[in-house]
Chain A
Amino acid sequence: MSTREKIITVSNLYKKFGSFTANDDLTFDVYKGEIFGFLGANGAGKTTAIKILCGLSKPTSGKATIAGFDVYTQTEAIKNSIGYMSQKFSLYEDLTVAENIRFFGGIYGMTRKDIKIKTQLLLDKLGLQDSAKKLIKDLPLGWRQKLAFSIAIVHDPKIVFLDEPTGGVDPITRRQFWNQIYEAASEGVTVFVTTHYMDEAEYCDRVSIMVDGRIAALDTPQKLKETFGADSMNDVFIKLARGDNK
């Protein structure tokens, strides 16, 4: 990271559902061009936090800004500044490659002219010119995934949210995908990754681990491993989530 411009700022954020505290005093920043891993066990409060960061839910108290926009009052501006991709849901299988680009470009509020230009750029970059009229379901899994990521950033968002982006794909395709993520990050896109796959966490610049609604640890994978005396992020996670080190 050459610059340390903050893209996401969160301070003392709480989200309560009745007497249950889903997010308990979250404070962290994410920088421009950073690959930030957001981990936690099932039920630790990740989804609640991400909904707030995407402008889909309001916090109970505390402050947060996304790309400079306030999560209480500027949720529409937030939605225009972010992209989203998940392994489970990404593209429409019964639409062609070009139709998917046009559809998502439209959703993200791009003009027809911009969509046309971007479609060409994107197809050239991925080497998919001959496949523009192919249905998504006829593309190999690896290609679908690369396309899904490209479409998630087609509108040049400041931040892209990736939900378990490479779960279940073969190791070579997975690495091609990480190359793509590194490239986007080096061009200044902030990448926010949530995952159950601890080896995906190893690719992140910094990783936060949520336990029971709080951020229990936040650092580079290297530092976390040193701090917890662990060989892998998997071990770090197990120690934290099981409370072995308390």
Chain B
Amino acid sequence: MNTVIVENIHKSYKKIVALEDITFSVDKGEIFGFIGPDGAGKTSLFRILVTLLLPDSGKATVMGLDVVKDYKKIRKMVGYMPGRFSLYQDLTVEENLTFFATIFSTTIQENYHLIKDIYSQIEPFKDRRAGALSGGMKQKLALSCALIHKPEVLFLDEPTTGVDAVSRKEFWEMLKSLRNAGITIVVSTPYMDEASLCDRVALIQNGSILKIDKPDLITSSFGKNILAIRSSNIHKLLNDLSNYPACDSVFPFGQYVHYTAKENRISKEELEKYLTALGHQQLEINPIEPNIEDCFMSLMNEAS
């Protein structure tokens, strides 16, 4: 069963096209990720799905309910965590949670079991004002508030942006256990490496979806061989490789450079000869499997 169905959604702000013909569906009980940079359209899409923004055209349903006509019903059934921290900074941790429970005519006690794993981590600070919490703790409180009315679907807009790696890891572990409890999760992130933590992902750029699939199927359909190359001078390596006639793409990836060849004609030996002749030292050339970022860039190039 599809929890979210989106068909041909368009949204523009004056001249700027935010979403262009977006179509996808989310299955019940999956973690569905939108992976894309700032300005890709992630927030506009989430706001449409939680009924805070009207699409220009197209149709979208959440739990079978129309996002335009049935907005009141949808609001009771979804949990939403906006990109910006939007709890009351001057209320304490406990006051914020009580406030959101009250709005949805419930109590902390009634649904405590749902938030227990997450909330118990910040409960020792329940009398602290929300504004005085660390980034990771704010995020846990926001998630608790989004969960307190026992939603069927969670929409989390960039929940891990600006949070350190340890808190990010903990956050994803929480999402997994919520998913296992049967909650459908739609989440967005600009961190490409978080794609592998989702059941399925949509890669999104400039208001369009580049691809939707399981993360491992996206990487396995890359279709080209990649060499990871390093030398003692990365800057020179990048320049020399982009001047190499057979070069299709060359991108820095940390201490390595990822290289693909035109028509996939890759010869490690020839490359080694070429680079050695140009004076590269400590040369290392290894075939590797593509990652999501390789795929994203290749799809971006195809789209433009």
Contacts and interface: CB of A to CB of B under 8 A. Distances in A.
Given A203-B255, A221-B254, A169 B37 contact: yes
Contacts of B39: 141
Nearest to A87: B38
A182 B36 CA distance: 25
Nearest to A242: B166
Contact of B37 (A170, A196, A197, A234): A170
Interface residues of B, number: 36
B48 interface: no
Contact of A182 (B205, B235, B300): B235
Interface in A40-95: 40-43
Contacts of B253: 202
A202 B254 contact: yes
Contacts of B251: 171-172, 175
Contacts of A201: 254
A199 to B, nearest CB: 7
A167 B254 CA distance: 15
Contacts of B40: 170
B165 A237 contact: yes
A224 B192 CA distance: 22
Contacts of A222: 255
B118 interface: no
B287 to A, nearest CB: 17
A202 B255 contact: yes
B228 to A, nearest CB: 12
A178 B257 CA distance: 12
Interface stretch (B123-131, B156-164, B212-220, B271-279): B156-164
A171 B300 contact: yes
Given A43-B134, A182-B238, A237-B165, A171 B296 contact: yes
Given A171-B300, A175-B252, A196 B235 contact: no
Q: Is the contact region of chain A dominated by helix, strand, or loop, or is it mixed? A: helix
B166 A172 contact: no
B165 A170 contact: no
Contacts of A40: 164
Give the interface size class of chain A: 35 or more
B252 A42 contact: no
A168 B38 contact: yes
Contacts of A172: 251, 297, 300-301
A38 to B, nearest CB: 13
Interface string A108-137: 000000000000000000000000000000
A185 interface: yes
Contacts of B162: 167, 196
B37 A203 contact: no
A199 B135 contact: no
Interface in B251-266: 251-255
A170 B205 contact: yes
B44 to A, nearest CB: 16
B254 to A, nearest CB: 3
29 contacts: A40-B164, A41-B165, A41-B166, A42-B134, A42-B135, A42-B164, A43-B134, A141-B39, A167-B162, A170-B40, A170-B300, A171-B251, A171-B293, A171-B300, A172-B251, A172-B301, A173-B37, A175-B251, A179-B238, A183-B235, A186-B236, A196-B165, A199-B192, A203-B255, A222-B255, A234-B193, A237-B166, A241-B164, A241-B165
Given A179-B252, A183-B235, 11 more contacts: A41-B167, A168-B161, A171-B296, A172-B251, A172-B300, A175-B252, A185-B235, A186-B235, A203-B252, A203-B255, A222-B255
Interface of A: 40-43, 141, 167-173, 175, 178-179, 182-183, 185-186, 196-199, 201-203, 220-222, 232-234, 237-238, 241-242
